[in-house]
Amino acid sequence: MKKVELINVSKSYDKQVDVISNINVTIEPGEFFVLVGPSGCGKSTMLRMIAGLEDITGGTLKIGEQVANHLSPDKRDLSMVFQNYALYPHLTVQQNITFGLDVKRMKKDEQKRKAEEVAQLLGLTEYLGRKPRELSGGQRQRVALARAIVSETPICLMDEPLSNLDAKLRAHMRSEIRRIQRSLGITMIYVTHDQVEAMTMGDRIMILHEGKIQQIGKPIEIYNHPANPFVATFIGSPPMNLAEAELDELNSQLLIGNDLKLPLPEGDYSELSKRLLTVGVRPENLHPVTVETAAGSSFEVTVTNVEVLGNETIFSFQVGASEWMAKWTGQWHINIGDRLPIQMDFATLSIFDREDGQLLKKTIDQSHHVTQHEVGK
Amino acid sequence: MNTAGSLWRRSINGRTALLYLLPSIILFSVFVFYPMFRTIYLSFFLTDQAGNAAINVGIENYQYLLGSSEFQNSMKATVLFVLYTVPIGVILALFFALLANEKLKGIGFFRTMYSSTMGVSVAASSVIWLFMFNPSIGMFNRLLHSIGLPQIQWLLDPEWALLSVSMSTIWMNIGFSFLILLGGLQNIDEHLYESARIDGAGYFYRLRRITLPMLSPTLFFIITISLINAFQTFGQIDILTKGGPSQSTNLIVYSIYREAFINYQFGTASAQAVILFVIILIVTILQFKLGERKVHYQ
């Protein structure tokens, strides 16, 4: 187990424009760290820099306590799983798994024993004699995984390893990779563009956009308190609803998208005044109106699209210039064109500065706790 | 009537296929099948001056050839020529392709240079080599002279002539082999090398365990083509040596040409051509049987 530390790391191909800049992060030993971002954000480049497959243009990379900027890939004590698995098509599964051991001149019977051990762990035992082309996508993925595990390196890098699998297999492999990582205690750095993978697998996740860190933190923290509108819309499905807003202190209300007027509770709004604002609200925080709904915090909207997903209903409507979505639990009979009253609570809003994207007001903590004590009663 | 009609209907797919194949069938018949069968037919005859079959002699042409020291000499020269040119040519082309496959600045220049011999016709390059081999004004003898070595009669010495022709042939063929091998190298997934580098595999380990196996289909193709080409070499012999000195470079295709168009012995020339055809067929079949086991197709 080793930590990986990036200090002010940057990368540029033409010595003029940085494709990655100002990366400062410490990945703790034994941590499952996910790099997530839209395609082209530099996440794979960053992983390849850690692996030593790309040069680091600026800054310092430390692996363990050692500066690793100029170490060759094999001296960094890590293994890597590639997106296309990079299996050797002319070698059998067993030879693929033991390739790295053979490079290190391990004895043949020792190699065989290790390969069998790892194959056992991943359910590949009966495929050891086959060539990669005779395997299904999921099995190939396992071989790639086996190759990384068998090297027993303290750090494992994965570059979108699940993106070539179908949805069902992907969900299964997510938990499988997580289980193996926990049981072996390796430090995992995992690149994905899929926010679901990031949310479900990561101990911590880093969101990258255009080569810059947007936010680092525990998945649920990022979901609850996104640092800027980009993170707010990137994490969560459907994404957070955003709209331009203005604070009307005179009438003590928030004007959202020139459309909705939300009364402000008592409080100090000096932080928000005299700024251009963007408000965000998660679709699940837009509720149906009930008898207890405070007057003034409900709005009538016109439904433009409806998706009923069995246990929840998602519908969209227009607020100012943007389309919003609301997610209600249960099955609702809503038709396109219906006028619906919905309610929104000021406490659940996230408010950002429209100019620099900074988070000015967080939503309230809505998480629930189950304790042994309460369940016992 | 009824059965004939149903046969006509049942063969609809076959007839459609035949219609699609017709253009190539016609072309192949005119340029390949007819000459081939005509050659086999002529090899059993003595011919008149115009090349028409005159007297059927059965297999006498073949018996004569197998007993003739001239033909045996020609076969020996051909085999030697193949052994000189094919292995060295392929290994050199592979070496250049490996060099040119490195990602360096300006590598495009070298790629163009190494493949440039493909763009020069056999006749033109033979003339260039003819000058370089010239005993008095040629580059090679000037070079030997300047470092104090004795002069060599490149094309006039029976000991050297075949080697000289082989050298120029290797040079001529290297462009094509280089280009095909480079294409094969570039087709290998870069991630395989990256994965091997993370495992700590050195250059020669990667070459032995990744590059060569992954390149094997291309290598196999190039070896087959080079072998067939070497057996069929004609142009450079005609221009450089005309089969001499003392028959030492009288390769089989040149010998066929001489037999047919200088000696007007179309019968024996045809018989030689048939023998060459059988030899190339056997070599290629052998190569497929032995080589294919070691070739990995994706």
Selecting from B194, B197, B210 the residue whose C-beta is nearest the C-beta of A88 gives B210
- Taking the C-alpha atoms of A53, A57, A60 and A61 in order, what is their torsion angle to the nearest 10 degrees? -10
Selecting from B198, B213, B298 the residue whose C-beta is nearest the C-beta of A80 gives B198
- Tell me the C-alpha to C-alpha distance, in Å, between residue A328 and each of A283, A287, A343: 8, 7, 12
Query: Looking at residues B37-56, what average pLDDT do you find?
Result: 84
* Spans of all domains in chain B: 2-42, 68-294
Kind of pairing, strands A187-192 and A155-159?
Answer: parallel
pLDDT at residue B83, as a whole number: 93
Which secondary structure element, helix H or strand E, spans residue A159, and what is its range? strand A155-159
Q: 3-class DSSP state for residue B233?
A: coil
Residue A366 lies in a domain: no
pLDDT more than 90, % of chain A: 27
A193 and A240 fall within a common domain: no
Give per-residue pLDDT as tens, A47-97.
999 999 988 988 899 998 889 888 888 888 899 999 888 999 989 999 999
Chain A neighbors of B209, CB-CB under 8 A? 88, 91, 99
A21 and A156 fall within a common domain: yes
Query: Looking at residues B242-254, what average pLDDT do you find?
Result: 85
Q: What DSSP string describes B170-191?
A: HHHHHHHHHHHHHHHHHTS-HH
Selecting from A75, A88, A100 the residue whose C-beta is nearest the C-beta of B192 gives A88
A205 and A278 fall within a common domain: no
A217 and A240 fall within a common domain: no
A26 and A121 fall within a common domain: yes
Q: How confident is the model at residue B298 (pLDDT cuts 50, 70, 90)?
A: low
Selecting from B199, B201, B296 the residue whose C-beta is nearest the C-beta of A90 gives B296
CB contact under 8 A, B199 and A99: yes
ipTM confidence: 0.81
Select from A196, A224, A252 the last residue of a domain: A224
Contacts A–B by Cβ distance under 8 A: 61
A54 and A8 fall within a common domain: yes
Q: What is the pTM of this model?
A: 0.80
- Residue B128, number of CB atoms within 10 A of its CB: 14
Collect all residues from A whose CB is shorter than 8 A from any CB in B: 51-53, 72-75, 78-80, 82, 84, 86, 88-91, 99-100, 103-104, 133, 147, 151
d(CA A318, CA A324): 6
- Round the average pLDDT of chain A to a whole number and report it: 87
Residue A21: give its domain's CATH number. 3.40.50.300
Residue A377 lies in a domain: no
Give per-residue pLDDT as tens, B112-161.
988 888 888 889 999 999 888 888 888 888 888 888 788 778 888 888 88
What residue numbers bound the domain in which A70 lies?
A: 4-224
In B, minimum Cα distance to A159 occurs at B191
Kind of pairing, strands A204-209 and A187-192?
Answer: unpaired
Chain B neighbors of A133, CB-CB under 8 A? 298
d(CA B197, CA A78): 11
Query: Residue holding tokens 């750090």?
Result: A155
A253 and A216 fall within a common domain: no
Residue A225's contacts (CB-CB under 8 Å, 6 or more residues apart) are: A350, A359, A362, A363
Q: Is the pLDDT of residue B99 over 80?
A: yes
Give per-residue pLDDT as tens, B114-125.
888 888 888 999
In A, minimum Cα distance to B203 occurs at A103
Q: Is the pLDDT of residue B22 over 90?
A: yes
Q: How confident is the model at residue B182 (pLDDT cuts 50, 70, 90)?
A: very high
Selecting from A74, A84, A151 the residue whose C-beta is nearest the C-beta of B191 gives A84
A245 and A327 fall within a common domain: yes
In A, minimum Cα distance to B213 occurs at A90
Task: Give phi and psi for A157, each to the nearest 5.
Answer: -110, 140
* B114/chain A closest Cα distance in angstroms: 29
**Of A184 and A371, the one with more pLDDT:** A184
Collect all residues from B whose CB is shorter than 8 A from any CB in A: 189, 191-192, 194-201, 205, 209-210, 213-214, 216, 296, 298
pLDDT at residue A377, as a whole number: 43
Are the beta carbons of A153 and A76 closer than 8 angstroms? no
Chain A neighbors of B210, CB-CB under 8 A? 88
Residue A73 lies in a domain: yes
A204 and A255 fall within a common domain: no
Which of B188, B193, B195, B212 should one mutate to test binding to chain A, selecting the residue with the greatest count of A CBs within 10 A? B195
CATH superfamily ID and name for B68-294 = MetI-like (1.10.3720.10)
Name the DSSP class of A284: G
In A, minimum Cα distance to B205 occurs at A103
pLDDT at residue B185, as a whole number: 93
Select from A224, A248, A282 the last residue of a domain: A224
A170 and A61 fall within a common domain: yes
Give per-residue pLDDT as tens, A232-288.
999 988 899 998 888 887 778 888 887 788 888 877 777 777 778 888 999 998 888
CB contact under 8 A, B200 and A79: no
Tell me which amino acid residue A160 is. Answer: E
Q: Is the pLDDT of residue B179 over 90?
A: yes
CB contact under 8 A, B213 and A90: yes
d(CA A341, CA B66): 103
A318 and A219 fall within a common domain: no
CB contact under 8 A, A90 and B205: no
Residue A207 lies in a domain: yes
Are the beta carbons of A211 and A41 closer than 8 angstroms? yes
* B191/chain A closest Cα distance in angstroms: 5
Structural tokens at position B180? 């095909």
Are the beta carbons of B172 and B236 closer than 8 angstroms? yes
Query: Looking at residues B7-18, what average pLDDT do you find?
Result: 87
Residue A302: give its domain's CATH number. 2.40.50.140
d(CA B59, CA B43): 8
**Of A360 and A376, the one with more pLDDT:** A360
Q: Which contacts (CB < 8 Å, 24+ apart) does range B274-282 have? A: B274/B39, B274/B40, B274/B43, B275/B62, B275/B65, B276/B231, B276/B232, B276/B252, B277/B36, B279/B231, B280/B227, B280/B228, B280/B231, B280/B232
A248 and A215 fall within a common domain: no
Query: Looking at residues A125-144, what average pLDDT do you find?
Result: 89
d(CA B224, CA B280): 10
Give every strand in the sheet of A78-81, ordered side by side. Answer: A78-81, A155-159, A187-192, A32-36, A204-209, A212-217
Chain B neighbors of A72, CB-CB under 8 A? 197
Q: How confident is the model at residue A376 (pLDDT cuts 50, 70, 90)?
A: very low
Tell me which amino acid residue A38 is. Answer: P
Buried b (16+ CB within 10 A) or exposed e, A117-143: ebbebbebeebbeebbeebeebbbbbb
In A, minimum Cα distance to B192 occurs at A86
Q: How confident is the model at residue B212 (pLDDT cuts 50, 70, 90)?
A: very high
What counts of helices (H) and strands (E) characterise chain B?
A: 15, 2
Query: Residue holding tokens 């020529």?
Result: B81
How many distinct structural domains can be found in chain A? 2
In A, minimum Cα distance to B191 occurs at A86
Give per-residue pLDDT as tens, A290-340.
877 766 678 888 999 999 888 899 999 988 888 999 999 988 888 998 888
pLDDT at residue A189, as a whole number: 93
Residue A311 lies in a domain: yes
> A256 - beta bridge partners?
A245, A260
Q: Is the pLDDT of residue B184 over 90?
A: yes
- Residue A167, number of CB atoms within 10 A of its CB: 9
- Round the average pLDDT of chain B to a whole number and report it: 87
